[in-house]
Structure 1
Amino acid sequence: MAANRIARTLVLAGLAAACATLFVTRYWVNRACIAAAASSCRLEDGSNVTGGAMLWGGVAVVLAVLTLRSALGKRR
């Protein structure tokens, strides 16, 4: 059972890190441009970012909480 808990914790941590990376790269870095455009912003590389990318931050927080709960959960 301990191996199962460790694997679950590592998977959750990896998913949380991936979502946090998406939040930072798709929203946080470009938040001023998104706010100025009032909806979406086209970057120099041609990609279009929107305020909806803020959702990745919420997903990252939920996954981080689940990771902590899995790692620090009650031992059976």
Structure 2
Amino acid sequence: MDLEEVLGKVAELSREELHIVRKRAEEKTPARDHGQDFHDMQDRARRLDEYATHLRKLHDDTFQDGWRDKQ
């Protein structure tokens, strides 16, 4: 995958997870209520983390050593 594809997936999954979070907030769904929304949110979060890791690698490959601040 190239940078554009990965960024598109990150944006898409972020919007999907945010939609679920907002829906749960509107419905005032307690965190302990592990329904389908909760599992969908976990799935989006897991996939988002995978794409974020891929994005980090693409950035490292593009900008080479020393571009990231050491923290």
Q: Which range, TM-score by smaller chain?
A: 0.5 to 0.7
Work out which of the residue numbers 23, 29, 49 in structure 1 matches 2:19. 29
What is the number of equivalent residue pairs in this alignment? 57
CA–CA distance in 2 between the matches of 1:70 and 1:61?
A: 14
Q: Does 1:59 align with 2:50?
A: yes
Unaligned runs of 5+ in 2: 66-71
The aligned runs of 1:12-51 (5 Å cut-off) are 13-32=3-22, 33=24, 36=29, 38-41=34-37, 50-51=40-41
Identity over the aligned pairs, expressed in percent?
Answer: 0
TM-score, normalised by the number of residues in structure 1: 0.53
Q: Which sections of structure 1, spanning at least 5 residues, go unmatched? A: 1-7, 42-48
Q: Deviations over 1:3-62 (max 9, x none)?
A: xxxxx8xx1x12321221222222122214288252323xxxxxxx81211123202211
Specify the structure having the higher radius of gyration (Cα). 1
- If each structure's strand is expressed as a fraction of its own residues, which one has the higher value? 1
Structure 1, 51-60 or 32-41: larger mean CA deviation: 32-41
State the TM-score, normalizing by the size of structure 2: 0.55
Q: Is the 8 A contact 1:40 1:50 kept in 2?
A: yes
Q: Which amino acid in structure 2 is aligned with residue 19 of structure 1?
A: K
